[in-house]
């Protein structure tokens, strides 16, 4: 090696410049970009994060589909159970008229007796048909008042029945598969008011 090559270049003032230290190639490359192992680790973290997000979406979607399936099944069952609801309500008007006709047939003549007997038989058949289609009568005479099935029309003070029990039924109620079609219109027993007690020793 020649002397010109080994000496550093001189500054403009005549003094030589200090030698420049060389940076290893591995350190220079590492400062610019990550190693392949670090890149794989970052990709794995991202992949795991995406997998968790997709798994959460799948779980939520399955839960929504299960809820939708249950709601649909319930709607189908209810539509079968209560498909006759409107029709049954219309029949109740005819049933009421038939019962009123029987109550009005009070004569003792043979013609009236036959008419009443025929109407009672028709009413019995009518009720049997309704029961086959899960329409049940609500006749709460003597039972405790239930606001979910009964509609109070009046209160009647009486000592012959416990307070808050039904002492008279104006109109029967009806239900379809335990769903109320019409409440029973009733009179409720009320406790008799006690007269004020006089203290005779006063």
Outline where 17-84 has alpha helix (H).
25-32, 36-81
Distance of CA 117 to the CA centre of its chain: 47
- The tens digit of pLDDT for each residue in 67-112 reads 999 998 888 888 888 888 889 999 999 999 999 888 888 878 888 8
Residue 181, φ and ψ in degrees, nearest 5: -90, -40
Please tell me whether residue 76 adopts helix, strand or coil conformation: helix
Instruction: Tell me what pLDDT residue 107 has.
Output: 77
The CA dihedral of 164, 167, 171, 175, to the nearest 10 degrees, is 50
Q: Is 48 left (phi over 0), alpha (psi -120 to 50) or beta?
A: alpha
Per DSSP, the residues of 146-161 read -TTTEEEEEEEE-SSS
CA distances from 194 to 16, 157, 158, 179 (A): 128, 11, 12, 40
* Mean pLDDT confidence for 54-76: 91
- The tens digit of pLDDT for each residue in 11-44 reads 455 555 555 445 455 544 544 566 888 888 888 8
Q: Are 164 and 188 contacting, i.e. CB atoms less than 8 angstroms apart?
A: yes
- Name the pTM for this structure: 0.60
DSSP state letter for 10: B
């Amino acid at each position: 090696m020649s002397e010109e090559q080994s000496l550093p270049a001189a500054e403009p003032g005549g003094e030589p410049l200090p030698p420049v230290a060389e940076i290893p190639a591995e350190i220079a490359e590492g400062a610019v970009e990550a190693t392949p192992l670090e890149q794989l680790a970052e990709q794995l973290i991202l992949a795991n994060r995406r997998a968790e997000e997709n798994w959460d979406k799948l779980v939520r979607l399955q839960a929504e589909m299960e809820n939708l399936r249950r709601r649909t099944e319930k709607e189908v069952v209810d539509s079968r159970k209560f498909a006759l609801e409107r029709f049954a309500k219309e029949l109740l008007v005819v049933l009421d008229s038939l019962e009123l006709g029987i109550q009005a047939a009070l004569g003792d003549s043979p013609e009236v007796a036959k008419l009443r007997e025929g109407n009672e038989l028709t009413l019995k058949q009518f009720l049997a048909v309704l029961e086959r289609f899960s329409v049940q009568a609500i006749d709460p005479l003597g039972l405790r008042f239930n606001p979910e099935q009964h509609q109070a029309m009046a209160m009647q003070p009486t000592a012959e029945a416990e307070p808050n029990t039904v002492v008279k039924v104006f109109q029967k109620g009806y239900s379809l598969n335990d769903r109320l079609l019409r409440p029973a219109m009733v009179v409720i027993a009320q406790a008799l008011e006690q007269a004020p007690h006089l203290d005779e020793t006063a």
